[in-house]
């Protein structure tokens, strides 16, 4: 966990809890993606995020103990710790999936079918030079609102960008890893190919 020692973690229980939830959700998305696309580097990122989540969990417990000064406060903190434990279990499960990819375990086709058969799926979207996405930031595009797809990672050449922020600008040739429904993923693919020139409310 040494590589996370210099990372500044949130300073209160609420912010740490939110960061844990967001990190666990990203881990699940990346774990499923690593299975679907057999991406070992993506799986390794899941394991690194697991270490970060363990650090967050430690800080949450410390802050929780310091915050509980009265019995009523202790009861409220206990519920947060129970939820944090559930989030930690979810992250451990995502890490187990990632380890299967890293170890080269041959997965049964049912696993892939189950992931693809979910209401929300993970899609790989190639961005062509003709796409209206090119040259715009994720904040400008607001893909979640305009297409229903959340971008969880981007492949640029041989490099991966995980959990890109709003300032991230899309280039031609980028491969977006997005989470959404079949319909929303297909819609974004058409935009990325350059077949659709207007998006959302434009």
- Which CATH superfamily groups domain 4-102? Phosphate transport system protein phou homolog 2; domain 2 (1.20.58.220)
Give the C-alpha separation, 91 to 137, whole Å: 29
Q: What is the pLDDT of residue 133?
A: 97
**What is the rounded average pLDDT for all residues in the chain?**
88
Q: Looking at per-residue confidence, does 150 or 110 come out higher? A: 150
Domain range summary for the chain, segments of one domain joined by +: 4-102, 119-193
| Residue 76 φ then ψ, to 5° | -65, -40
CB half-sphere exposure, 61, CA atoms < 13 A: 9
Same fold, 4-102 and 119-193: no
Residues contacting 165, CB < 8 A, separation 6+? 138
| Residue 124 φ then ψ, to 5° | -110, 120
Q: Please say if the pLDDT value at position 58 is more than 50.
A: yes
CATH class of 119-193: alpha beta
Global confidence as pTM:
0.78
Query: Quick one: how far is CA 25 from the chain centroid?
Result: 5
| Residue 151 φ then ψ, to 5° | -85, 120
């Amino acid at each position: 966990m040494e590589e996370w020692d210099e990372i500044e973690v949130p300073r209160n229980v609420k912010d740490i809890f939110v960061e844990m939830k967001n990190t666990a959700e990203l881990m699940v998305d990346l774990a499923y993606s690593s299975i679907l696309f057999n991406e070992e580097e993506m799986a390794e990122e899941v394991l690194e995020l697991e270490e970060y989540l363990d650090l967050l969990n430690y800080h949450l417990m410390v802050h929780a103990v310091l915050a509980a000064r009265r019995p009523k406060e202790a009861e409220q903190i206990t519920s947060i710790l129970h939820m944090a434990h559930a989030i930690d279990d979810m992250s451990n499960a995502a890490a187990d999936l990632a380890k299967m990819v890293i170890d080269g375990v041959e997965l049964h086709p049912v696993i892939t079918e189950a992931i693809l058969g979910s209401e929300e799926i993970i899609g790989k979207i190639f961005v062509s030079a003709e796409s209206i996405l090119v040259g715009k930031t994720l904040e400008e595009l607001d893909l979640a609102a305009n297409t229903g797809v959340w971008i969880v990672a981007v492949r640029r050449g041989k490099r991966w960008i995980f959990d890109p922020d709003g300032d991230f600008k899309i280039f031609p040739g980028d491969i977006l890893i997005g989470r959404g429904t079949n319909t929303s993923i297909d819609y974004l693919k058409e935009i990325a190919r350059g077949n659709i020139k207007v998006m959302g409310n434009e």
